[in-house]
Amino acid sequence: MKFLHTSDWHIGRGIRGQSRLDEQEAALQQVLSHARDEAVDCVIVAGDVFDTSAPAPEAERLVYGFFGELYGAGIPAVVIAGNHDHPKRLDAVAPLLTSLGIHARGMARGPADGALIEVASRDGREKAVVAALPWLNERDMVDFAQLQDEMGAPLVQYSERVRAAMRGLAAGFDRDAISVSVAHLLVDDAMVGPGGGERELHMAMGIYGVQPEALPTAAQYVALGHVHKNQEVRCGTKAAYSGSLLQLDFGERRQEKYVNLVEIHAKQPAQVTPLPITAGRKLIDIGSAVKGVNLNELSQYAEQGEDAWYRVFIDLDIPVANLAQMVRAELPTAVHVERAKGYVEESAAPETMERLGPAEMFTRFYESSLGRERSPSPETLELFRRLLTEEEHAPADA
């Protein structure tokens, strides 16, 4: 059987106030073309379908239109919620999607509750069992009291509970069928590329993830979502992140984008082939925070006529009030403009903020933006986490 593994669409996400719906639509059309050209038996979407838990109607139109086209091509799909999706909202439309052959899973569930999905090959000669594990919220997996303690114990507890959940689902695999797991999670040591370089994410950094050995060896392929760089994961079985469809921020500006074509037969190793997604605009830096360019140099970039989003660093000794307007007069798609020579706006480092969890971001805001001399009290943090949990689990129409 052939599977097309994709994830992290983040449909509806713009860039510095600019819409990217046209790029997202073009990228989804490339996914559809790959699925048709390769005559795949199933498309797997490993979470973060939308960029927000309350997507705009235009974003929903793109996504559900894509699923409708899959149905027209006779290709079923398995879709799980990521941390950006509203799990209850996805479950609410799941019965309608099932009629199109789209098996959507928003909330995590057990083997007897629909977590194991059977998919047949086009010719009916092979069958696959797909074990679906949507995003598991840290606060739902770890007791709140432990979150107040030293970070090591909650991180280990989270990893072990995810391991148990994945192994429990894998126990329902059919030995004579193809076995696939799909999950939206962070595997320790996964590689990401902020600022164009690469670094490892370790659980010791305080980020909730799972060890590679937590992935079920009973699965012939583990389709992962959450990390935006296409890569294989070194573990006891074949596992990979397909990565995002577009370069979503300037931390991804050097990443090529792909979907994974996965060919699997019962009791045989999976074969993975990345297929390129080229529809989105590239994100390009002009200059750097250390050394910028002169204003009179911008015309040469405009003459190149490259269809890209630009982050521009200008070499100036003094601030200029209308600097952004001056730059955009030459480069209309310059979405971020700042002075070089050590002047860096907060928004110039989104990749640093992405490493922080909600509580850490709230603490930074409390300490800096509110002018506090100390961190928020445990009671304040407890109230913040409780409100955050209530928001995440609020009804879709709230």
Residues 1 and 265: beta-carbon distance below 8 Å: yes
The amino acid at 236: G
CATH class of residue range 2-277: alpha beta
pLDDT tens profile 164-219 = 999 999 999 999 999 999 999 999 878 875 533 334 443 334 467 888 999 999 99
pTM above 0.85, yes or no: no
Q: What does the angle CA 212 – CA 216 – CA 222 come to, to the nearest 5 degrees?
A: 80
Nearest-10 crossing angle of helices 57-72, 21-37: 10
The amino acid at 349: A
pLDDT tens profile 235-252 = 989 999 999 999 999 999
- Alpha carbons 6 and 46: distance in angstroms, whole number: 6
The amino acid at 334: A
Name beta bridge partners: 130: 117, 180
The pLDDT of residue 148? 44
pLDDT tens profile 90-134 = 999 999 999 999 999 999 999 999 999 999 999 999 999 999 999
* Residue with tokens 């994961």, as numbered in its chain: 233
Please give the radius of gyration of the chain, using alpha carbons only, rounded to the nearest integer. 22
Q: What does the angle CA 66 – CA 238 – CA 235 come to, to the nearest 5 degrees?
A: 125
The DSSP string of 279-325 is -SPEEEEES-SSS-B-GGGHHHHHHHT--EEEEEEE--SS--TTHHH
Give the residue among 220, 246, 216, 242 at the shortest CA–CA distance from 231: 242
- Alpha carbons 389 and 383: distance in angstroms, whole number: 10
